[in-house]
C-alpha cells in the first residue's frame, strides 16, 4: 500500500505541476463562458429581419396582426408576387378569402427560404390575429381584449413536488440544465481522464520502464496507483473549477450597484414581493432574485454528492478498461484505436440516452440505463437532478450506486489480469479475444 501511495503521488504531482494542467484548468471555464457568450451573441446578432407584405383581401387581420422584433408586417396595396422584391419586401403573404367554417390556407412566398422558428412565429401571429378578429366579431371590444391579453401574461406555471406533508417548488428547466450539464461533464471527463490513463500506461510500456517498476511493485499496484493518481488530478480540477466559479460570481456580484443589491435583499426577505407593494422592483434586481430563487429549488448538496460519487465511480469503471487497453498496445499507438472502440461505444450510447433522460427522467430505458454501470454515471445524474425521492426513489439510487461499485470492482479485477500480462509483452498484436483469454486463464 505504501508503494501504491508513492505511485499515486508521482502520477498526481507530475501532472498537477505540469504547465498544461494549470493552463487547462484556468482556461477551460473561461473558454466555456466565452463559448456561451459567443453563441448568445451570434443568436442575437444573427437574427434575420423580415419585412413582409401582406395581401389581405378582406382586411380581416389588418388591425389585429402585430409586429415582432424580427418581423414587420405591412399592408401595401400595389404589391403582388411579381414585384414584392423590387418594392423592398423580403416576403409576401397572401391570405385567402376567409369563409366561416371552412379551412383555407395562406401562402408565403419568399426570396430566401425561411427558418422553422420564423415560420412558426408567423403562423402563430396570424392565427392569434384571426382569433382576435373572431372574438371582436363576436362582440368583444378591442380594449377589453387588450387588457385580457396583458392580464393573462402575469400568470406563470409554478410546479411543486409533494413530499409527505410539505411541498417544495420544483423547476423542470433547472433540473434539465443540471442533468444535462453534469451528464456532459461526466462524459467528457471519462474520455479525457480515461485516455490519460491509457496514454500513461502506454508510455510506461513503450518506454520500457514497466519491467523496472514491476520488479519493485505488483502490476496491480502500478495500475491502481496510476488510476487513483489521475482520478485525484480530475477531482483537483473540479475543485478548482468550483472555487473559480464561486469566486467569479461573487466578484461579479460585488460590481452590482448598491441600490440593486439592496432591492435583491428586500426581495429575498419578502419572498419575491417588494415591501408593502410600495414600488415595483428594478428589472435587473427582479431577474437576479428570480435566478437565485430558481437555483435554490435544486437540492445542491445531494447533487454535488451524487456528482462526485458518479464521477469517481464512472471514472474507476472506465479507467480500468482504458488501462487494460493501454497495456496491450505495442509501439504503434494506432493499435489502441480499434481496441478502444468497445469502450467508447457504451460511452457514446450513454450520452445519447442522457440527452433523452434530461427531458423524461422516468421512462423504462432511463431506469435501466441508470442501473447498468456502463451508463449509470451519466444517466443517473440526469435523473437525480429532477429530485430525490420524487423522480428517483432512494432504493433506486442506492441500487444504482451499488451496481456501479460492483461494476468498477469487476472491471478493475478484469483489467488487472489483462494488464499484468499485457504490460510485459512486446511484439504481439493483441485482440479482444486474446485479452479475454488472459483475463480468465488461471494465474
Partner 1 sequence: MGLYLNNKFLTMDALLSLQNLKKYYATQKAVDDISFDIERGSIFGLLGPNGAGKTTLLRMITGIFYPDSGNILLEGTAFNPMLDVEKIGYMPEERGMYKKMKIGEQAIYLAQLKGMSKAEATEKIKYWFKKFEMESWWNKKVEDLSKGMSQKLQFVITVLHEPKLIILDEPFSGLDPLNANLIKDEIYALAKKGSTIIFSTHRMEQVEEICDHIVLVNLGKKILDGSVAGIKQQFKENNFSIEIKAGSSISSNAIFTIINEAASKYLIKINEGYTVNNVLQHIIEQKIELIGFNEVLPSLNEIFIKLVEGTHAGARAFQNI
When the beta carbons of 211 and 265 are compared against partner 1, the nearer one is 211
Residue 6 as a binder of partner 1 (CB under 8 A): the answer is: yes
User: How many Å apart are CA 8 and CA 226, to the nearest integer?
Assistant: 6
Q: For the chain, what is the total number of helices (H) and then of strands (E)?
A: 15, 6
Quick one: 159 or 212, whose CB is closer to partner 1? 212
Tell how strand 107-110 and strand 91-94 pair up: antiparallel
Q: How many CB atoms lie within 10 A of CB 67?
A: 11
CB of 415 to partner 1, least distance (A): 18
Piece of 83-91, 107-115, 216-224, 363-371 that binds partner 1 (CB under 8 A): 216-224
Range 10-39, binding partner 1 (CB under 8 A): 10, 14
By the rule CB under 8 A, 158 interacts with partner 1: no
What values do phi and psi take at 72, rounded to 5? -120, 130
**109: phi then psi, degrees, rounded to nearest 5:** -115, 135
Per CB under 8 A, the list member of 80, 131, 169, 203 interacting with partner 1 is 203
> How much of the chain is helix, strand and coil, in % rounded to 5?
65, 5, 30
* Shortest Å distance, C-beta 384 to partner 1: 40
| Selected range binding partner 1 among 148-156, 212-220, 243-251, 388-396, rule: CB under 8 A | 212-220
Q: Are strands 107-110 and 71-74 parallel, antiparallel or unpaired?
A: unpaired
As measured in angstroms, the least distance from the Cβ of 240 to partner 1 is 23
Nearer to partner 1, 330 or 354 (CB): 330
* Among the listed residues 145, 312, 425, 439, the single contact to partner 1 using CB under 8 A: 425
Which of 105, 208, 250, 433 touches partner 1 by CB under 8 A? 208
Enumerate the β-bridge partners of residue 51.
Answer: 72
Return the exposure string of 299-313: e unless at least 16 CB atoms fall within 10 Å of the residue's CB, then b: beeebeebbebbbbb
Selected binder of partner 1 within 116, 117, 278, 443 (CB under 8 A)? 443
CB of 210 to partner 1, least distance (A): 8
Judged by CB under 8 A, which stretch of 35-43, 211-219, 275-283, 329-337 contacts partner 1?
211-219
C-alpha distances out from residue 427 to 103, 166, 206, 430, Å: 75, 66, 11, 9
Q: How many chain residues are in contact with partner 1, going by CB under 8 A?
A: 25
Residue whose C-alpha is closest to residue 3's, from 278, 280, 224: 224
For residue 109, the SS3 value is: strand
CB of 219 vs partner 1, minimal distance in Å: 8
439 binds partner 1 (CB under 8 A): no
Least distance to partner 1 from the beta carbon of 271, Å? 58
Query: Is residue 51 a contact residue for partner 1 (CB under 8 A)?
Result: no
Tell which one of 3, 51, 62, 293 touches partner 1 (CB under 8 A). Answer: 3
For the stretch 94-129, what's the b/e string if a residue is b when 16 or more beta carbons lie within 10 angstroms of its beta carbon? bbbebeeeeeeebebebeeebeeebeebbeebbeeb
Instruction: Give the closest residue to 110 by CA, choosing from 136, 71, 145, 149.
Output: 71
Question: CB-wise, 157 or 443, nearer to partner 1?
Answer: 443
Does position 424 interact with partner 1 (CB under 8 A)? The reply is yes
Dist. CA 351–CA 332, nearest whole Å = 29
Identify the CA nearest to 260 among candidates 285, 287, 231, 224. 285
**Does 170 engage in binding with partner 1 (CB under 8 A)?**
no
Question: Which C-beta is closer to partner 1: that of 69 or that of 207?
Answer: 207
Cα dihedral value 68, 69, 70, 75, nearest 10: 40
Grid cell at residue 238: 473540479
Nearer Cβ to partner 1 (3/62): 3
Among 211, 265, 290, 332, binds partner 1 (CB under 8 A): 211
Q: 199 or 293, CB closer to partner 1?
A: 199
The span of 111-119, 152-160, 213-221, 238-246 binding partner 1 (CB under 8 A) equals 213-221
| Positions in the binding site for partner 1 (CB under 8 A) | 3, 6-7, 10, 14, 203, 207-218, 421, 424-428, 443
Amino acid at each position: 500500500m505504501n508503494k501504491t501511495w508513492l505511485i499515486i503521488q508521482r502520477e498526481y504531482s507530475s501532472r498537477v505541476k505540469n504547465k498544461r494542467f494549470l493552463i487547462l484548468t484556468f482556461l477551460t471555464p473561461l473558454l466555456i463562458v466565452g463559448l456561451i457568450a459567443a453563441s448568445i451573441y451570434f443568436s442575437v446578432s444573427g437574427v434575420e429581419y423580415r419585412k413582409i407584405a401582406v395581401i389581405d383581401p378582406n382586411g380581416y387581420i389588418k388591425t389585429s396582426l402585430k409586429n415582432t422584433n424580427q418581423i414587420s408586417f405591412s399592408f401595401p396595396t400595389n404589391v403582388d408576387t411579381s414585384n414584392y422584391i423590387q418594392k423592398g419586401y423580403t416576403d409576401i403573404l397572401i391570405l385567402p378569402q376567409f369563409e366561416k367554417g371552412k379551412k383555407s390556407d395562406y401562402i408565403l412566398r419568399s426570396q430566401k427560404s425561411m427558418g422553422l422558428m420564423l415560420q412558426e412565429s408567423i403562423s402563430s401571429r396570424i392565427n392569434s390575429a384571426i382569433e382576435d378578429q373572431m372574438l371582436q366579431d363576436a362582440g368583444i371590444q378591442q380594449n377589453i381584449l387588450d387588457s385580457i391579453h396583458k392580464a393573462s401574461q402575469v400568470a406563470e406555471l409554478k410546479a411543486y413536488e409533494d413530499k409527505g406533508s410539505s411541498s417544495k417548488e420544483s423547476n423542470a428547466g433547472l433540473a434539465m440544465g443540471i442533468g444535462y450539464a453534469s451528464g456532459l461533464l461526466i462524459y467528457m471527463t471519462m474520455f479525457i481522464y480515461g485516455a490519460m490513463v491509457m496514454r500513461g500506461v502506454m508510455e510506461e510500456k513503450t518506454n520500457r520502464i514497466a519491467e523496472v517498476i514491476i520488479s519493485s511493485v505488483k502490476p496491480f499496484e502500478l495500475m491502481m496507483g496510476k488510476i487513483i493518481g489521475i482520478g485525484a488530478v480530475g477531482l483537483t480540477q473540479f475543485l478548482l473549477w468550483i472555487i473559480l466559479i464561486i469566486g467569479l460570481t461573487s466578484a461579479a456580484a460585488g460590481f452590482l450597484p448598491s441600490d440593486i443589491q439592496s432591492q435583491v435583499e428586500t426581495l429575498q426577505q419578502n419572498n419575491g414581493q417588494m415591501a408593502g407593494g410600495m414600488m415595483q422592483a428594478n428589472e435587473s434586481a427582479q431577474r437576479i432574485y428570480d435566478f437565485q430563487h430558481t437555483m435554490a429549488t435544486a437540492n445542491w448538496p445531494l447533487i454535488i454528492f451524487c456528482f462526485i460519487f458518479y464521477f469517481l465511480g464512472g471514472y474507476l469503471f472506465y479507467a480500468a478498461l482504458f488501462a487494460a487497453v493501454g497495456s496491450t498496445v505495442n509501439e504503434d499507438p494506432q493499435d489502441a484505436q480499434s481496441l478502444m472502440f468497445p469502450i467508447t461505444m457504451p460511452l457514446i450510447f450513454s450520452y445519447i440516452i442522457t440527452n433523452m433522460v434530461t427531458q423524461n427522467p422516468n421512462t423504462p430505458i432511463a431506469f435501466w440505463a441508470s442501473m447498468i454501470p456502463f451508463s449509470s454515471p451519466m444517466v443517473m445524474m440526469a435523473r437525480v437532478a429532477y429530485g430525490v425521492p420524487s423522480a428517483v426513489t432512494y432504493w433506486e439510487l442506492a441500487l444504482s450506486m451499488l451496481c456501479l461499485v460492483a461494476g468498477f470492482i469487476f472491471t478493475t479485477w478484469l483489467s488487472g489480469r489483462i494488464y499484468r500480462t499485457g504490460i510485459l509483452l512486446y511484439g504481439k498484436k493483441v485482440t479482444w479475444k486474446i485479452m479475454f483469454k488472459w483475463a480468465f486463464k488461471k494465474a
